[in-house]
């Protein structure tokens, strides 16, 4: 079960991280502006908000595994179709549909894994699963390097998205034997209200609203860095494809370590303190990476690794947090709303940076969004309850 769920997150990392790497080639091939590139990124993220709610709702109703197979199949289809885009409108359509099914996958996999994991190890268990994102990112970076070594930039991005279909086939094959949590562990009693009525009723409203705000501001700070760093390195640092890829490799190594080690920290010191440390670390080292003009290669590569570490270390606790906030009967839907609606709101971050970069420069725009969103994220996590070690059952968690 662990490896089956791990493969799904690896697929997410592979296909999602391809777009920032391919963005400069897409802009050149389709004649887009930087603002249109940001809009294409944001459209997928906004669609993922809807997909997360729909996917979580279907998983609560029909079971986790059945829905996972459906969304991965559709995710692969629209990833492949992205390679065929001939203009901005077509790109927008395929990216939006891909984003919808990308969003649907996350809450389903998170709920499934959280229900299997022991309470005292839930943070590190879900963090290990999410470490597959870094492996998928590494595959995307390898695809980026190889395709650009043999093909012009305006064609290489199409090959990258066509190759993106293959990991989905592997994920589907691995998941053939996957089963939902036994009914003895997830007791599904009758609901007194509709699912959305329950999530926004007094018992869970605080968790739903604050969790969504936390998800939105936290992801906006992450997107500020991850979405635009490849283009920033190329345009403002003047790096080649191979040099950009070198920076990304160091970020990926730090990213994987952040996922693996971050989960242990979340289980050891609790969700609130872990998120606070990791988000502040992301902001501090992100600003040092973007704003401090040090020419030493070793310094910049080290900073890239440290930024990658903090980005994934804070992300490593979200699967645990968002599933611990809700009882099993609405867990998939609740996690889908808090994470993916938050992702939909955060989707305005890349578009806003793309727009602001025309006036203040790409690096400065990234730093402004990063700092504002980090401050809000730390505020929201301290308004949410501490959930470390919570036993998952049908009872609504205390406020």
Fold classification of 1-177 (topology level):
Growth Hormone; Chain: A; (1.20.1250)
**Structure tokens of 347?**
């989707």
Summary mean pLDDT of the chain: 81
What's the pLDDT score for residue 229?
77
What's the pLDDT score for residue 189?
47
What's the pLDDT score for residue 135?
84
Nearest in space to 136 (alpha carbons), one of 309, 40, 223, 6: 6
What's the pLDDT score for residue 131?
79
**Contact indicator for 357, 365 with CB cutoff of 8 Å:** yes
What's the pLDDT score for residue 184?
34
Please state which of the four CATH numbers 3.30.70.920, 3.30.420.280, 3.90.1150.10, 1.20.1250.20 is assigned to the domain occupying 198-389: 1.20.1250.20
pLDDT along the chain (399 residues), means of 10: 63 78 87 83 81 84 78 84 92 92 79 72 76 81 84 88 75 61 46 74 91 93 79 76 80 89 91 96 89 74 91 87 86 84 78 81 86 95 90 56
Burial class (CB in 10 A: 0-12, 13-18, 19+), 293: exposed
**Which residue ranges make up each domain of the chain?**
1-177, 198-389
Question: Please, what's the b/e burial string for 321-360 (b: 16 or more CB within 10 A of its CB; e: otherwise)?
Answer: bbbbbbbbbbbbbbbbbbbbbbbbbbbbbbbbbbebbeee
What's the pLDDT score for residue 393?
61
What's the pLDDT score for residue 279?
96
Q: What is the DSSP letter of 53?
A: H
What's the pLDDT score for residue 372?
93
Evaluate whether 1-177 and 198-389 have a shared fold. yes
Q: What is the distance, to the nearest Å, from the Cα of residue 391 to the centroid of all Cα atoms in its chain?
A: 25
pTM of the model: 0.74
């Amino acid at each position: 079960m662990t490896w089956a769920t791990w493969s799904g997150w690896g697929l997410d990392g592979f296909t999602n991280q391809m777009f920032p790497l391919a963005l400069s080639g897409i802009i050149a091939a389709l004649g887009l502006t930087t603002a249109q590139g940001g809009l294409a990124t944001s459209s997928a993220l906004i669609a993922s908000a809807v997909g997360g709610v729909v996917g979580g709702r279907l998983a609560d109703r029909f079971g986790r595994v059945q829905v996972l197979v459906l969304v991965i199949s559709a995710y692969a289809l629209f990833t492949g179709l992205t390679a065929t885009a001939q203009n901005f409108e077509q790109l927008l359509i395929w990216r939006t549909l891909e984003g919808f099914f990308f969003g649907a996958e996350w809450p389903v996999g998170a709920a499934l894994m959280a229900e299997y994991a022991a309470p005292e190890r839930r943070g590190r268990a879900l963090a290990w699963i999410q470490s597959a994102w870094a492996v998928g990112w590494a595959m995307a970076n390898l695809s980026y390097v190889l395709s650009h070594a043999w093909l012009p930039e305006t064609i290489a991005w199409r090959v990258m998205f066509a190759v993106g279909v293959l990991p989905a086939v592997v994920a589907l094959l691995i998941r053939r034997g996957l089963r939902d949590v036994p009914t003895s562990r997830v007791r599904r009693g009758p609901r007194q209200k509709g699912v959305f009525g329950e999530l926004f009723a007094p018992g869970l409203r605080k968790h739903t609203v604050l969790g969504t705000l936390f998800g939105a501001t936290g992801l906006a700070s992450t997107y500020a860095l991850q979405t635009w760093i490849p283009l920033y390195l190329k345009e403002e640092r003047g790096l080649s494809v191979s040099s950009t890829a070198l920076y990304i490799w160091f970020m990926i190594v730090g990213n994987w370590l952040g996922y693996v080690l971050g989960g242990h920290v979340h289980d050891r010191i609790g969700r609130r303190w872990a998120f606070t440390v990791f988000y502040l670390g992301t902001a501090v080292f992100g600003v040092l990476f973007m704003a401090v003009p040090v020419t030493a290669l070793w310094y910049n590569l080290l900073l890239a690794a440290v930024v990658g570490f903090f980005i994934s270390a804070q992300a490593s606790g979200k699967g645990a947090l968002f599933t611990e906030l809700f009882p099993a009967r609405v867990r998939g839907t609740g996690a889908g709303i808090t994470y993916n609606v938050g992702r939909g709101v955060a989707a305005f971050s890349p578009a806003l940076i793309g727009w602001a970069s025309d006036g203040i420069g790409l690096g400065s725009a990234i730093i402004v969004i990063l700092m504002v969103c980090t401050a809000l994220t730390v505020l929201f996590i301290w308004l949410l309850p501490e959930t470390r070690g919570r036993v998952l059952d049908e009872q609504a968690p205390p406020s």
